[in-house]
Amino acid sequence: MIRIATIEDEKDIQEEICQAITSVIDHKEEIEVDSYFSAEDYFLAAKDYELVITDIELPGISGLELGKKVRQMNPEVYLVFLTAYSEFASESYIIEAYQYILKKDMQERLPALIDKVATRIKKGNSEFFWIGNSRDLKKIYYKEIIYIKKIKGSKYAEYVTADGMYTARLSLNQVFEKINYNGFILADRAHVVNVNHVKRLRGNTIYMDNGEEIEVSRVQSLQVKEKIAEYWRL
């Protein structure tokens, strides 16, 4: 199930967004699409979504304010801003929107973007592994892993998720081969990070959405930046 919310106060635009969604993924996946005409209606519904498409210029609470709150509640959500004005682009990037689309380009860009996001959501919902032993096994989805850390002086790796930390007897290289997931990059000899949980990259520091900071060596800094930028452009 892919859960999508659209927030747009103009009915014709709202219908256009929904048509773009159903034309691309209705025949591929079971989806749930809820449409709202204001941010207030969206928050009253108190539901979780994997993709949120919102107009920036909304009556009452703006789309930008909605985006900030959505990001705080669920850092993993795919957040897409729509607007008629290009000057909002820089603000949308500050909120770390997945994409920013001008309404005049919506018919051209929105269907392909929705298809791409749906593919990522489907992949994230199907990829997991078991960690632990026969007495205590835990299913961990790749998308839930924030980063993986080599435990110094041992053959163990630590998986850090929002729900806690889990340990497995694997080298970091073995972990990297095991997950085989293009959302992960080798940040340094001790860390593998999930790009979907990277909040910011500044200088040689990677800021994760759980508040932790990972320092990358100067030697690997440029390569890491290029890999993260490449993934964000996909």
pLDDT value of position 5: 96
Task: Look at the block and give the residue holding tokens 């210029």.
Answer: 57
Q: What is the mean pLDDT of the chain?
A: 83
- Of 36, 47, 30, 40, residue with least CA distance to 6: 36
As beta bridge partners, residue 138 has: 131
This prediction has a pTM of 0.62
pLDDT value of position 41: 96
In the chain the domains, ranked by start, together with CATH numbers, are 2-125 (3.40.50.2300), 129-233 (2.40.50.1020)
Burial of 103-119, coded b for 16+ CB within 10 Å and e otherwise, reads beebeeebbebbbebbe
Q: Is the pLDDT at 11 greater than 60, yes or no?
A: yes
Q: How many helices (H) and strands (E) does the chain have?
A: 7, 15
- Of 173, 177, 144, residue with least CA distance to 159: 144
pLDDT value of position 94: 47
Q: Is the pLDDT at 158 greater than 70, yes or no?
A: yes
Q: Is the pLDDT at 56 greater than 70, yes or no?
A: yes
In angstroms, the CA 134 to CA 23 distance is 45
